[in-house]
Amino acid sequence: MRMETSIAAADASGAFSALAGAMRGELKRHCYRMMGGIQDAEDCVQETLLRGWREFASLRDGAAVRPWLYSIATRVCLDALRTRRRRQTLFGPSVDEVEPGTEPWVEPWPGGGAPSGPERGQDIRLAFVSLLHGLSPRARAVLLLHDGVGMTAAEAAAALGISVAAARSALQRARTALPPQEVVAADDARVEAYVDAWNAGDVSALVGLLHKDIVLTMPPWRRTFTGRDEVERFMTGVWPRYEGFRAVAVVANGQPAAAVYTRRDDGPYLPHSLHVLAGSGQIAEVVLYAPPLGASLIAAFGLPVRRPEELTLLGPFPSSFWCRIADG
């Protein structure tokens, strides 16, 4: 949806409210790509809309407001990134840790289907967002404005207050580190079987869903398990620590995902972990957000946290019962 609005001072407030309502979701996804965290994205989009409201009435007649608002959002994010610790990417070297890391990690995004319309160039997949955070903030910003929003290098340079040469150099570095990838639609069938295996407490069924070259990462622990045999040894060792599991299917970053609850000593089911899946046919990649990080993310997906006993009352249920696809 292209919005080129003739702005009159008399109705600027109403026009901006309509614009903000139409664009809030896509701006938040853009801020998420820049920031790597859900709450950081929300904070930045609020600041973006505040700055936009202050400046809207002064726009020249016929201004293209969509790229203008994306420019504000990107600058807000760059300002915020100057005071925040860099987020950990999800596919680094494996470290045998005694305690989980305390650094902020790239987080999963609740919902987010395949991009279309004005967002068709903006990949929301978790692996892509993680790769973005291996770039410098400037290179990340130029790449998203150019390839995602559709700005020219000159327009991106003007939006960020840098030279065209600097913008082109940042774009080249970003594309070298992050070549374009085809956006593949999620396969929902395997998440149903994945959830069923957790609900049945059947580790053999779970392992049977995995590709032989499966890669499982486990933030906030810097652990990577490679290959079906290694993942099976890990899962078989962990499984007996719990008396039961309840899992529900969700969507994260436009990918199939599962939220897992566990219980011990006949207690209630409590939030445990969030699993983001990738692969075609068999599951080839799992990003398993483990405790305490995983439990802290579950509320963002609209699942119970303060009253987890609801899961006990429901008992085993089809994963589609709570499947949630959010617009963000």
pLDDT in tens, 181-228: 555 555 556 899 999 999 999 999 999 999 999 999 999 998 899 999
The answer to whether the beta carbons of residues 261 and 311 sit under 8 Å apart is yes
Residue 116 CA to residue 97 CA, distance in Å, equals 41
Rounded (5°) CA angle 254-32-38: 90
pLDDT tens profile 79-128: 999 999 999 988 877 777 767 778 899 999 998 754 555 555 568 889 99
The phi-psi region of residue 284 (left if phi > 0; otherwise alpha if psi is between -120 and 50; otherwise beta) is alpha
Distances from the Cα of 99 to the Cα of 64, 96, 258, 291, angstroms: 50, 9, 24, 11
Whether the bond between 292 and the residue before it is cis, its omega within 30 degrees of 0, is: yes
Does residue 4 register a pLDDT over 90?
A: no
* Relative orientation angle of helices 12-35 and 38-56, to the nearest 10 degrees: 150
Strand ordering across the sheet containing 270-278: 224-226, 210-217, 283-289, 270-278, 255-263, 244-252
Q: Which residues pair with 270 in a beta bridge?
A: 262
Q: What is the DSSP string of 278-305?
A: E-SSSEEEEEEE-TTHHHHHGGGGT--S
Does residue 318 register a pLDDT over 50?
A: no
Residue 304 has a pLDDT of 87
Residue 315 has a pLDDT of 42
Residue 293 CA to residue 300 CA, distance in Å, equals 12
pLDDT tens profile 145-162: 999 899 999 999 999 999
Please name the helix (run of DSSP H) or strand (run of DSSP E) that holds residue 12, with its range, or none.
Answer: helix 12-35
Does residue 136 register a pLDDT over 50?
A: yes
Residue 236 has a pLDDT of 94
Q: How far is CA 234 from the centre of its chain?
A: 26
Does residue 2 register a pLDDT over 70?
A: no
Question: Higher model confidence: residue 6 or residue 102?
Answer: 102
The answer to whether the beta carbons of residues 218 and 87 sit under 8 Å apart is no
- How many CB atoms sit inside 10 A of residue 303's CB? 20
Which pair of tokens denotes residue 258?
């599962």
Residues 6+ apart with CB under 8 A from 62: 4, 6
